[in-house]
Amino acid sequence: MQLYDAIFYRKSIKKYSTKRLSINMFEEVRNLCEDMDSLNKEIKIKAHPILKGDSLKFIIKKRHRLVAPHYIVLTVQLPEVEETEDGKDKKIAPIKYLDSVGFAGEELILKLTEMGLATSWIDDNFNKESILDFVHLEENEKPVILIALGFPDGNELFRKENENIDRKPIKKIAKNVDEKWTNIIECVRIAPSYKNSQPWRFYQNNGSLDIYMKKDSDENMNQINMGIALKHFEIGCKYHNIDFEYVKLDVKDKIRKEYYISVV
């Protein structure tokens, strides 16, 4: 199975068997976690797999009700702030990093799907300070989000062929785009998103394909959603041999939609 195939077969698993991964399989997971591909190369994304997942269930808020034998903690390490000549920190604009977390984490999830493992994103509403009791983090590294990991409990791991997927049709998320992008946008269409919000929107604009984010009350999770979408877009382009580049252009927002990035 390739990452492209995993996009279409993978589904979020909410109930997990108590069976743990073998030591050899967990080591394979650990090796995958060593290679995280960030959307912004200045932002370092790390993945910390936790062998004894039951140790985390007490710090995951009750509303999740998702207990897995293992978890992966995704963290971010931002560039260090420079000091000026007078010894004060240089003022820099806030760095958006959550899309890089989604971008890197989704590739990891698809690789785990290739291994035949069940996964689910768990939103950022957990006690991040308590995570420090279970993982060693470097300076300026902070926990962002969790991935549940294990084997499904009585559920099928993969989607059935031709299974109906609860997603918006392409015509609802893409307007007047070139036909060459249809297969690529289909990869994005079925991407997972928090509360199935599907915030991505595509518009053709002369030489670029502009991508927007639908404005929502939970902007943090939406940014992670957008990173997931951009990873699916990248995988689709590689599979269909389409050269592209993500760039920021001088493009205005639309009503209830924030300009995010363009593809050229």
What pLDDT sits at residue 83?
A: 53
pLDDT of residue 127: 77
Q: Do 177 and 210 fall into the same domain?
A: yes
Range list of H helices, the chain: 3-9, 23-33, 98-114, 128-131, 170-173, 182-189, 219-239
Give domain status of residue 162, yes or no. no
CATH of the domain at 62: 3.40.109.10
Please indicate, yes or no, whether residues 8 and 139 belong to a single structural domain of this protein.
yes
Q: Which domain holds residue 241?
A: 170-263
29-38, 57-66, 195-204: least confident range: 57-66
Q: Do 24 and 140 belong together in one domain?
A: yes
What pLDDT digit, counting tens, does each position of 202-227 carry? 999 988 999 999 988 788 899 999 99
Query: Does some domain include residue 91?
Result: yes
pLDDT, tens digit (0-9, with 9 covering 90-100), for 170-187: 999 999 999 999 999 999
Question: What letter represents residue 32's amino acid?
Answer: L
Check whether residue 83 and residue 134 sit in a common domain.
yes
Over residues 60-70, the mean pLDDT reads: 78
Given a cut of 90, is residue 264 above it in pLDDT?
A: yes
Residue 25 lies in a domain: yes
Q: End of a domain among 117, 150, 183?
A: 150
Percent of the chain with pLDDT over 70: 92
pLDDT at position 199, please?
96
| Residues 75-97: tens digit of each pLDDT | 998 776 555 555 554 544 456 89
For residue 156, tell me if it sits in a domain. no
117 and 244 co-located in one domain: no
Q: How many domains does the chain have?
A: 2
Q: What is the pLDDT of residue 160?
A: 82
Q: What mean pLDDT do residues 119-136 have?
A: 85
Same domain (yes/no): 137, 188: no
- Report the pLDDT value the prediction gives residue 57, as an integer from 0 to 100: 73
The answer on 14 and 144 residing in a single domain is yes
| Domain termination residue (choose one: 93, 119, 150) | 150
Same structural domain for residues 183 and 254? yes
Task: Please check whether residues 97 and 8 belong to one and the same domain.
Answer: yes
Same domain, 121 and 241: no
Instruction: Say if residue 18 is in the same domain as residue 92.
Output: yes
Which pTM value belongs to this model? 0.92
Residue at 200 is within a domain: yes
pLDDT tier at 52, thresholds 50, 70, 90: confident
Burial tier of 206 (Cβ tally within 10 Å: 0-12, 13-18, 19+) = exposed
Residue 14 belongs to some domain of the structure: yes
Average pLDDT, the chain: 90
Task: Give the end of a domain, one of 119, 150, 181.
Answer: 150
CATH of the domain at 175: 3.40.109.30
Residue 165 lies in a domain: no
Within a domain: 47: yes
The answer on 114 and 22 residing in a single domain is yes
In this prediction, residue 93 carries a pLDDT of 47
